[in-house]
Amino acid sequence: MDIWKPQNIEPDTCLRAQIGPLLFWFKQAKDELHIATERLSETDEHIEAIPPKVVGAVEPKGLDWNRWIVKKLRSIRLIPAMPDRAVVVRTEIPVKIPTGLEAIFFVGIPVWVKVIAGDSEKFDLYEQPIVIRSNTWFGDPISGELCYSLTTRARREILEAEIEPHRCICPVKICNASPTTLEVDKLCIHVEHLKIFEGTKQLWANEVKITYKGEDLAGEIKLRKLIGLILLLLRILLPA
């Protein structure tokens, strides 16, 4: 996916990039890098991923530019990053998992974009979400936490028509090791433990494996990496 590769930038030129509904504008002026963003409306949420390209030497009007001091700048790079807090997503329809069985869900997480400038010496400038999501509260009023609410659904399969370059697909496997049937209608994923991997058309995250042992028993949560498994403290939101 070319959108995530380093791109050259020349003095006094303006570059434009698009990832999902977020547009980026870049301009180099002496030892400064100017960056502005523009959002398309939700009804215009395109799925294009267009790497930074030269659009001319004149800055577009009406944009709110930010300026960073950099030196010997020859390239910039956009890097996908996970959101800065956990995400809550509903299943497409509630799913009941009998004792001893398991189910896999695919969650599309809208990524953030991190801007990196420089070559041998790199400057981590800033990051922001591609898609603005509403807040939601997970857990009880005392010990709960503020999360992002996803409008996408946790699905049992990935449809080709729903592949979007600004979303990261996270496979979630839920195993029911309790003595009763488990019903799942919401998932809460702590994304700070996930890594992002680049596919040919889609970003992917580690597989999360959740073993449910009952309401009064601690469940086992594992994150599958490229090599081995790491035990992590993740949480799943289950019906009361």
Question: pLDDT tens digits for 82-107?
Answer: 999 999 988 888 889 999 999 988 88
Question: How confident is the model at residue 236, as a pLDDT?
Answer: 33
Encode pLDDT of 19-34 as tens digits: 888 989 998 888 888 8
**What span, in angstroms and rounded, lies between the C-alpha atoms of 63 and 59?**
9
Pairing outcome for strands 220-224 and 203-205? unpaired
104's CB contacts (< 8 A; 6+ apart) are 156, 171, 172, 173, 174
What pLDDT, in 10s, does the model give residues 165-201? 888 999 988 899 888 898 888 888 888 888 898 887 7
Catalogue the E-assigned strands of 98-206: 102-110, 112-117, 123-129, 135-138, 145-154, 167-176, 182-189, 196-198, 203-205
- State the pLDDT confidence band at 7, using cuts at 50, 70 and 90: confident
The whole-chain average pLDDT of the chain stands at 79
Under 8 Å between Cβ of 205 and 169: yes
Do 100 and 212 form a contact (C-beta atoms < 8 A)?
Answer: no
Q: Is the dihedral of CA 226, 229, 231, 234 positive or negative?
A: positive
- pTM of the full structure: 0.80
